Structure 1
Amino acid sequence: MGSEMNRRGLMKLTGGSLLAAAASTAAGRAVADEPSAVGPIIVDGCSPAAPTAEYLELLRKGGVDCWNVSMLPSLLQMSQLLEFAARNAAHVEIAKTAADIRRIKREGRISLTIGWQEADLFVMKGESDWWSKPPKTTMRLFYDLGLRVCGLIYNLTNAFAGGCLDPHVGLTKAGRTIVSQMQSLGILVDVGGHTGERSSLDIIVMAERPVVCTHSNIAALNANPRNTSDRVIEGIAKTGGLFGVSAIDPFMSWGRDDVGKRKEPRRRADIKRYVDELDYLKRLVGVDHIGVGGDFTTGATSSINPEESFAFPPEMTYLQDPIQYAQGFEDISKLPAVRAEMERRGWRTNDIDKVMGENWMRVYEASFGA
């Protein structure tokens, strides 16, 4: 914020008129650089939707300024996203700093940040050297392409960490190295949710910058293995990070006790149930540590059959084709309805703005640069 003034200041000039003109110009630049010049930033902190013109329209209807395009690590998906941004440069740009996000909003466009839901591509076969010290990975390549957010694991344990289906498995030596490199380089580490509790807590202990949970729900409100415990949420907050709340229905309405009872829930989660999560987090860790991580799969493959899926077992979800979301918050265009429910419950405007995006911006600045 105010970066132009911080870097330059006013040059000392002779002549009153020149000094006044220089002061006026510099002040104008400073005002333009301030967040107030563009208003609060609204962020969807995690959604693996397909990058399409149709989804951009949903983002606009929702008032979203920045979308963290979340994906399983894939060279093809990375390439396709870069191609999408190039074809639609009049409407979007991949942001690599928080300043980029604010600038892109000033220009009337939507910023895209890139996120992965697991870290396997950092150690591609034949492209990594784990015999060297420190180990050599592909991390810098993907960072330069725009990767700024990354989790280590997707539900099932890998070489780095335990997944949410193995909650007692801790962070491995390789995982500690990857986390250290991510934090040093400026890639925001994603814990909780897909990552198991023990591994999440291990990451939190070693964190030197904020860590986040980009998209999950609260285990204390619904006993689902995909949800995150209060211990992890409180740990995230202590690092200065935040918890992004997912809008996926079964994480709020389905759990271990529902296995075998039904294929569709009798009572779907709705906007009120979604905001219950925000209220709980406000009481637990405060408004500075809450964000939106809708986890919308619009336009992408979004069918889950827990009877056939090892990574999505019946205690985690019911048969979903397509994936079901909270009623009234079925896609990102409905985000204003969440704000309206928060207002109805008496949330202050400033606090709503934090949850809608300014908390994400604070964490982005601390992680990958102002």
Structure 2
Amino acid sequence: MTSTPLHKGIHPVLEQDHPYIFIDACMQAWPDADYAHAHRHGVTAYAVTAFHPWAGLDEALEGLMFWHLSARRHSHLGIAWIAEDIRHAKREGRAVFVLASQGGDFISNALHRIEAFYRLGLRMLIPAYSRTNAICGGCLDRADGGLTSFGELVVAECNRVGLLLDCSHVGKRSSLEIIERSAAPVVFSHSNPKRLVDNPRNIDDEQILACAARGGVIGLAPWGPLVMKPGSRTRPTLDDFVEHIDYVAQLTGSADHIGIGTDMSLGTYPDHEHDPWGEPAYAAVTREYDQHVTADVRSPLRAVEGFSSYPEVLNLVDRLQRRGYGEADVRKILGENMLRVFEQVWR
């Protein structure tokens, strides 16, 4: 592979692909990404954030269609319409985008937009991105009122059309109500156990067990702020991240409900925008990490040491094997568990 990346949007190329289906359950990509080599980083399926979290209808539609254009321009890329598209991409040495929305604001009060976006390729939906909206509560808001009456209709409509519900960034009460009401499994695409790191973006044992009981998957994230141990002042390591995998495996009794959601990016991650008139006092997610490790959102230091670029997933494979995970469990964690849910939910 090539040299160490200068920022987290640049990834080395694997000269020879590994044998695993690797599904990244949450990532972002930007216009300057190296799409010509996106199929050579060891990733089979990128669950890409298709548009900005609080996008309205027009912006969401334009964002979604950008990925169709990207796939048309590059013969080695595609859009995952059904789960078999991911298996086919692996056999052909290609990569596919799983189009995902980190937020349901684009739905507004128009329930029919769910089917319309599903027909355009959307396959995963986080109903609320950190803050409360018309569907449900967000994980960073002061109060978590759970699903609204409209939100109950959203869950039922997602089930009807085959859109996978994702509870990362959603408030605890909301996530439990979504899991309970959903006729299909749901996922947490990029959340870690709160018992190990008490970050407001992480989830507790009740949420993990509820998700697993319905056949869902927890996408564990090597994103530094969700892995850095309480009181630590240093960058977390791959071994710290594997502790999260071990924890969920022990809590649920198997590796059957674990996936990976890196929250990495292809291309240059933009600076976060701030409102000069003032912003709500949402719970701090990155404050300690910003202070003690790095506040640069484009730095590879934002991910754990040893898994800050895609080809380093092979480091994860090595650690899992050393910890005693068998080949079947490694395959499940890297992608087969998520693929199982895709096969169950997508129409």
Q: TM-score, normalised by structure 2?
A: 0.83
1:192-226 residue CA offsets vs partner (Å, 9 max, x unmatched): x3000000011111111110001111111011111
**Alignment check: 8 A CA contact 1:47 1:294 kept:** yes
2:159 match: 183
Post-superposition shift, 1:82?
1.5
Alignment CA distance shift 1:336-1:210 (3 Å)? same
Q: Which amino acid aligns with 1:203?
A: I
Structure 2 Cα separation of the partners of residues 79 and 93 of structure 1: 13
Provide structure 2 residue ranges, at least 5 long, that are not aligned to the other structure.
Answer: 1-17
The answer to whether structure 1 residue 123 and structure 2 residue 108 are counterparts is yes
Q: Which amino acid aligns with 1:353?
A: R
Q: 1:42 aligns with which of 15, 19, 22?
A: 22
Q: 2:327 aligns with which of 349, 354, 360?
A: 349
Provide structure 1 residue ranges, at least 5 long, that are not aligned to the other structure.
Answer: 1-37, 129-135, 259-264
Q: TM-score, normalised by structure 1?
A: 0.78
Percent pairwise identity = 34
**Alignment check: 8 A CA contact 1:298 1:331 kept:** no
The answer to whether structure 1 residue 94 and structure 2 residue 48 are counterparts is no
Post-superposition shift, 1:111?
1.5
Structure 2 Cα separation of the partners of residues 322 and 198 of structure 1: 30
Alignment CA distance shift 1:354-1:56 (3 Å)? farther
The answer to whether structure 1 residue 316 and structure 2 residue 276 are counterparts is no
Structure 1 Cα separation of the partners of residues 267 and 328 of structure 2: 33
Tell me whether 274-283 or 96-105 shows the greater mean CA deviation: 96-105
Structure 1 Cα separation of the partners of residues 77 and 346 of structure 2: 20
Structure 1's consecutive aligned runs of 4 or more residues displaced over 6 angstroms after TM superposition are 305-309
1:123-167 residue CA offsets vs partner (Å, 9 max, x unmatched): 27xxx3xxxxxxx42112211111000010111100111100236
- Paired residues for 1:244-255 under 5 Å: 244-253=219-228
Alignment CA distance shift 1:269-1:186 (3 Å)? same
1:216 match: 191
Structure 1 Cα separation of the partners of residues 66 and 323 of structure 2: 41
The answer to whether structure 1 residue 81 and structure 2 residue 67 are counterparts is yes
The answer to whether structure 1 residue 155 and structure 2 residue 130 are counterparts is yes
**Alignment check: 8 A CA contact 2:39 2:77 kept:** no
- Paired residues for 1:237-316 under 5 Å: 237-253=212-228, 266-285=233-252, 286-304=254-272, 310=279, 313=282, 315-316=284-285
Q: Secondary structure of 1:114's match? A: strand
Structure 2 Cα separation of the partners of residues 230 and 143 of structure 1: 31
Post-superposition shift, 1:268?
1.1
**Which structure carries more helix by proportion?**
1
**Alignment check: 8 A CA contact 1:41 1:361 kept:** no
**Alignment check: 8 A CA contact 2:123 2:164 kept:** yes
Q: Which amino acid aligns with 2:219?
A: G
Alignment CA distance shift 1:279-1:254 (3 Å)? closer
The answer to whether structure 1 residue 230 and structure 2 residue 205 are counterparts is yes
1:310-339 residue CA offsets vs partner (Å, 9 max, x unmatched): 478563112322251111211222111111
Query: How many residues were matched structurally?
Result: 311
RMSD: 2.5
Structure 2 Cα separation of the partners of residues 203 and 107 of structure 1: 36
Structure 1 Cα separation of the partners of residues 36 and 247 of structure 2: 31
Structure 2 Cα separation of the partners of residues 346 and 45 of structure 1: 24
RCO greater where, 1 or 2, for CA within 8 Å and sep 6 or more? 2
Q: Which amino acid aligns with 1:297?
A: S
